[in-house]
Amino acid sequence: MGTSDVQAPTLTYQLMTMCMIRDGDRVLLLNRPSSKGFPGYIAPGGKVDFPESLTEAAIREVYEETGLRVTDLAFKGVDEYVVPATGFRYIVFNYLATRFEGELLTHPPEGELHWISLDEIDQVPMQPWFRRRFPLFFEPGTFEISIVWDEEKQEPIAEKIKQLG
């Protein structure tokens, strides 16, 4: 069988956003329960609905998950996971917001909301991928994280983190 006989996987993409909300020396994080996936503390975010823009999605997701309306978003970087065996690419567009208005939801849908001091962030339980990404929101410029994933072995084939600009 020649290489031309090998069927390449159909490429699929999932676009997501994440928005870190900073107020002085603290950030707003969700404490997600295991039932929601990705348990632990995480910034608000979620899927980009067609045909909304990336920033519209980030603003909408923050509002749905927190009750806050963020403004003046700063694009901070891209985090992508690529699974060659299945042709799947998961891309997260990351933002930082330092201006917002509104009241926090009393019963947020994705988990409890907590303002966490940046001095205490190391004591907060997080997924390893989010802990790795967390400080990049506060660095100058933008970042790019690229993970090539081996679905069978459930481990990375390659990982790159670049600070840009």
Mean pLDDT across the chain, nearest whole number? 93
Residues 101-127 have pLDDT tens digits of 999 999 999 899 999 999 999 999 999
At residue 49, does pLDDT exceed 70?
yes
- For the chain, give the percent of residues with pLDDT over 70: 96
Give 132-145 pLDDT, tens digit per residue. Answer: 999 999 999 999 99
Instruction: Using alpha carbons, select from 39, 162, 22 the residue that is nearest to residue 95.
Output: 22
The pTM (predicted TM-score) of the whole model is: 0.91
Residues linked to residue 159 through DSSP beta bridges, in sequence order = 147
Distance CA 23, CA 54 (A): 22
pLDDT of residue 165: 81
Q: Distance (Å, rounded) from C-alpha 28 to C-alpha 44?
A: 8
Per-residue model confidence (pLDDT) at position 82: 96
* pLDDT higher than threshold 80 for residue 2: no
pLDDT score for 3: 54
- Euclidean distance between CA atoms 33 and 38, whole angstroms: 8
Exposure of 88 by Cβ count < 10 A (0-12 exposed, 13-18 middle, 19+ buried)?
A: middle
Position 4 scores a pLDDT of: 59
